[in-house]
Structures are given as C-alpha cells and as structure tokens.
C-alpha cells in the first residue's frame, strides 16, 4: 500500500510540475520584466489596431500594455522629433519610406532576440527580402540591419474615366507613354479661344504642396518615376550625391540626359504649342478636376480611391497599371514609384519606472532600454510578417481563430490597402481596383532623399521654372540637382 501511495504521489507531483511549467500546454512566459508600449500611427483609428494588440498581449504576457495613438498628419514629423528629443516619445512610430537617411540616428534596428538561445536577430534582412516587395529592403534595411517594416506599400497607378475613354474610341487604357500621348490627343478638347474644355490627363504642373491653381497631386513623385523609367540614376552610388541631371554610361553623347528627357516630357503637357497640350494653371487641382469629369486620366496612389468614390459615386472609375517607358518591341524599364510608411522603434525612451512600480507593485519588473527595444520589435514582427515568423512567442495560440490570425492580411482586407507582403499581393492581383497597385508594388522603386519635404519643394520649383517661366530644361534640372546636393552636405 505504501508503495502504491508513493507511486501515486510521484505521479501527481510530476503532473503538477507539468501544469505550472507549461509543458504540454504553453511555454513559460516569465521574463522577469514587464513592458508598456506606446504606438504612434497616422491614418488608422485605434479600433483598427485593437484586435492585433489584444491578440498579441495574450501571446506575449511580458507586454502588459500597448497604447495606440492616432496623430495629426500636418505636424506629425515635428511632433515625433520633439518627443524623441526629450526621451518621452513613443516606443513604436511610423516613418515615411524616405526618412531613414534623415532620422537613422534616432531609430533602433531590430536587435538580437533577448530570449533566444542561439542569439538570432528578431528580424533578419533575409526575411525582409523574402517576405516583402523589393522596395522595402531598399528603403528600410541598411548596413545589414532592419530599421522599419510596413503594413502596406503604395505605388502609382493610372486612374481613368471609362466613359471619357469610351467616347474617344479608346478601348483599353494606355500601357506605354506612347499610348498615353495618343490617348491625351484623342480626348483633350480646346475651344477656339484656347481654353481647355476637357483635359486628357493631369500632367505638367507642380504639386499641390506649392501655392497656386492647376496643381497636380503628387507631381514630384510622377516626375521621379519618369526620370527613373528613363534610366536616370537619382543618386550616385559612390558619392551619395544626387545625380538625376547627369548622363549615364549608356547615354553619353545624347542630346539630353535621362533626367532632362523626363522633365521635358512631363512639362510638355503645359506647352500650348505641343500636340499633347492638355493642362495649364487655370485648371482645378488634379484630383478635383478628375472627380468633376474635367480630366480623363491622372496618376495617383490607392489612398484616393475612397475620395473619388465618395465624391463622385456615379463616375465610371477604372484603374490600370502605371504606363511604362516601352518601345513598340516591348523594350524598356518596367518600374513604378512607391510612397508608404513603416513602423520603426525609438532608440531611447525615458521609461516611467514609478508607473511600472505602481502598476505591478514590484520595481524589479522595470525593463531595460534594450529589453524595451526587443519587445517593441517583436510586436512589429507580429503585426507585419507571416504567422510563422512569430511562432517563438512565449504563449502558443489558444484558439483556432488566434492560430489563423494574420494582422497584416486582415489589415489589407479590412482597410482596402495594397499589401506589402508578397504572399498577400498574390491575393490582390485580381482585384479590379487594388490589382494595379499590387502589380505596381512588385516593380516599385524609390530613392534616398536627405529631406523629403525640401526635395519636394526643389522639384516643384524645377517644374515651375520650365512650365511657367519658360526656362530651359537643362538649366532648371541642373539647379535642382545642386540644391538637393546642398541638403546632402548639410
């Protein structure tokens, strides 16, 4: 009897130990510290992130709280910089895809997993390369380190009014810029006094970031796309200086550099003596003119779909891939231009130790800055990458719904946003409206800018110098390149 009691007691002891150790149920979630994270976003309300936050806290009990704050776009960059300068900023925040060069010193790249036995990185450059479209690695991976990751990537596409193209006898939207020129000439109507009654396309003027009428939304991005499609090297790889005005090895001896060709092409749409003349400073803003039915085509990003549909619900909207710089034989550079945001982690934050002690009753739970950075990056990994990437979280999914939950997939679907991940793009290719942006993301590029807002002002001035002041393309683009290089030296 004593022997049987001893065996039973031993069995019960083992069972109890298994339960408390998590064996056969879930992994041990104890790290010896607690983290409270604050996330700053821009375009999404807090309810958009709530499910991901709730599910993540169940998977990682070390993170006791995640507060999401939606910020104001107009003052966002200044707000971020002011907060980070005092050490009281967010743990996780959005950065523009061109911001890395400007703010790299303020960011903490994805570190080694503080709980891993093999000292592996929480996110590796190889994982980013495999899971995301190429532009993400170009924009957010530097010196073998990952600095930010997006939930969505956006690229330019061609918005067109199906009715206006149909009336002009155009059965399919333009595929190349030659097709685009042909369509513009067929659609544009100019009265006897020279007034533009109907514009074939919103092209040729500076962006609506500058003052005046007749502005083209995202004009500077459109021009950059044309330059890159023409073969311009926006930045010299060796010197890091802007080189979009320069000849390339394959264009020496030509009359114009690739950048000059692009600027001349873009601004020709505002030249009354040109066959493709279709735009001037008397036009409404490009988006407004398209919504009003005064313009047949415009290049823009997916975020304007909802604006067009809400303001012009009867407009017969079509969206196609951005035109390419191809000849009749299909030779040329297939390329799109990306504009998007990624989540990054602040490299330092003054943590509120008093708050942690009051919340936990234990000052020993106070996390170090390195631990805070690691936990913040684990949340970004969970938010943006595949489910398998977060399989090492302390607690395994407790329900089928949790096991199948993919925050990035749900975000793309619910918010109607073009995906950043390759696996999700495959599901969007057949979508009538998002498909062109999904296609564009696969071939999208950008270029490193010392200060994106300052560069936009310089590009706007370059366009105005040619379109409004009649300056020579060569002089305008050389002056713009010199101005960008002054920013680089600063």
Task: Please give the Cα distance from 372 to 1 (Å, whole number).
Answer: 55
Predicted confidence band at 23 (pLDDT cuts at 50, 70, 90)? Answer: very low
User: Which pair of tokens denotes residue 125?
Assistant: 């450059």
User: For residue 390, what pLDDT band results from cuts at 50, 70 and 90?
Assistant: very high
Give me the percent of the chain exceeding a pLDDT of 70. Answer: 90
Residue 258's nearest CA partner among 225, 300, 221 is: 225
Q: Is the pLDDT of residue 355 over 80?
A: no
Domains and CATH numbers, the chain: 31-153+340-423 (3.40.190.10), 157-337+450-489 (3.40.190.10)
Q: Which of 46, 103, 75, 35 is nearest to 346 (CA)?
A: 103
Evaluate if pTM is beyond 0.75. Answer: yes
Angle at the Cα of 274 from the Cα atoms of 203 and 317, rounded to 5 degrees = 35
Identify the pLDDT of residue 16.
38
Predicted confidence (pLDDT) at residue 434 exceeds the cutoff of 90: yes
Instruction: Give CA–CA dist 213/331, Å, rounded.
Output: 37
441 pLDDT higher than 80: yes
Six token digits for residue 263: 């600027």
As beta bridge partners, residue 325 has: 333
User: Is 290 buried (19+), middle (13-18) or exposed (0-12) by CB count in 10 A?
Assistant: buried
Q: Identify the band that residue 87 occupies on the pLDDT scale cut at 50, 70 and 90.
A: confident
pLDDT of 351 over the 70 cut: no
Say if CB 200 and CB 161 are below 8 A apart: no
108-156: pLDDT as tens digits: 999 998 776 677 899 999 999 999 999 999 999 999 999 999 999 999 9
When pLDDT is averaged across residues 412-435 and rounded to a whole number, the result is 96
**Count of residues in the chain:** 490
Residue 28 binned pLDDT confidence (cut-offs 50, 70, 90): very low
- Cα–Cα distance between 116 and 81 in angstroms, integer? 32
Per-residue pLDDT at 11: 43
Per-residue pLDDT reduced to its tens digit, 286-306: 999 999 999 999 999 999 999
pLDDT band at 444 (very low <50, low <70, confident <90, very high): very high
Q: Output the six-digit token pair for 231.
A: 């073969």
Residue 254: per-residue pLDDT = 83
Positive/negative CA dihedral, 280, 283, 287, 290: negative
Residue-by-residue DSSP string for 252-293: TTSSS-HHHHHHHHHHGGG-TTSTT----TTSPPHHHHHHHT
Res. 41: pLDDT tops 60: yes
Report the pLDDT averaged over residues 345-370: 68
- Residue-wise pLDDT for 43-85, tens only, equals 999 999 999 999 999 999 999 999 999 999 999 999 999 999 9
| CB contact set of 299 (below 8 Å; sequence gap of 6+) | 156, 157, 158, 159, 202, 203, 218, 222, 225, 322
Q: How many CA atoms lie within 13 A of 17 on its CB side?
A: 6
| Cα–Cα distances in angstroms (integers) from residue 424 to residues 133, 180, 381, in the given order | 11, 30, 16
Q: Which pLDDT band holds residue 346 (cuts at 50, 70, 90)? A: very high
């Amino acid at each position: 009897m004593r022997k049987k009691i001893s065996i039973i007691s031993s069995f019960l002891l083992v069972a109890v130990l298994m339960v408390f150790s998590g064996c056969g149920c879930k992994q041990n979630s104890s790290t010896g510290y607690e983290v409270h994270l604050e996330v700053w976003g821009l375009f999404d309300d807090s309810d958009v992130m709530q499910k991901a936050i709730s599910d993540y806290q169940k998977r990682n009990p070390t993170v006791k709280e995640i507060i999401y704050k939606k910020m104001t776009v107009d003052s966002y960059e200044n707000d971020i910089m002011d907060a980070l300068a005092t050490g009281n900023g967010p743990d996780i925040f959005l950065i523009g895809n061109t911001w890395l060069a400007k703010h790299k010193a303020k960011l903490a790249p994805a570190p080694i997993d503080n709980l891993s036995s093999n000292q592996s990185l929480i996110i590796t450059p190889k994982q980013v390369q495999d899971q995301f479209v190429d532009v993400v690695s170009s924009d957010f991976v530097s010196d073998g380190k990952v600095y930010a990751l997006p939930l969505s990537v956006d690229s330019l596409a061609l918005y067109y009014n199906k009715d206006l193209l149909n009336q002009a006898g155009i059965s399919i939207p333009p595929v190349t810029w030659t097709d685009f020129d042909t369509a513009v000439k067929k659609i544009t109507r100019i009265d006897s006094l020279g007034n533009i009654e109907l514009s074939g396309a919103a092209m040729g003027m500076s962006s609506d970031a500058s003052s005046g009428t007749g502005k083209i939304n995202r004009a500077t991005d459109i021009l950059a796309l044309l330059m890159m499609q023409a073969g311009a090297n926006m930045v010299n790889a060796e010197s890091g200086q802007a080189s979009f005005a320069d000849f390339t090895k394959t264009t020496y001896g030509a009359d114009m550099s690739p950048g000059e060709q692009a600027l001349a092409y873009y601004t020709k749409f505002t030249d009354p003596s040109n066959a493709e003349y279709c735009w001037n400073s008397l036009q409404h803003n490009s988006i407004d003119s398209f919504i009003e039915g005064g313009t047949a085509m415009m290049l823009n990003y997916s975020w304007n779909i909802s604006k067009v549909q809400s303001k012009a619900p009867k407009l017969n909207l079509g969206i196609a891939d951005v035109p390419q710089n191809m000849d009749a034989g299909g030779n040329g550079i297939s390329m799109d231009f990306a504009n998007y945001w990624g989540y990054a982690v602040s490299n330092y934050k003054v943590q509120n130790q008093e708050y942690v002690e009051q919340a936990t009753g234990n000052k020993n739970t106070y996390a170090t800055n390195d631990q805070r950075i690691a936990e913040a990056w684990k949340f970004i990994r969970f938010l943006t990458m595949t489910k398998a990437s977060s399989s090492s979280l302390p607690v395994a999914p407790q329900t089928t719904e949790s096991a199948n939950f993919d925050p990035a997939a749900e975000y793309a679907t619910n918010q109607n946003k073009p995906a950043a991940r390759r696996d999700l793009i495959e599901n969007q290719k057949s979508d009538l409206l998002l498909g062109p942006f999904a296609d564009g993301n696969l071939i999208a590029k950008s270029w490193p800018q010392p200060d994106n807002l300052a560069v936009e002002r310089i590009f706007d001035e370059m366009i105005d110098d040619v379109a409004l002041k009649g300056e020579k393309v060569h002089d305008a683009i050389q002056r713009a390149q010199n101005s960008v290089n002054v920013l680089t030296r600063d």
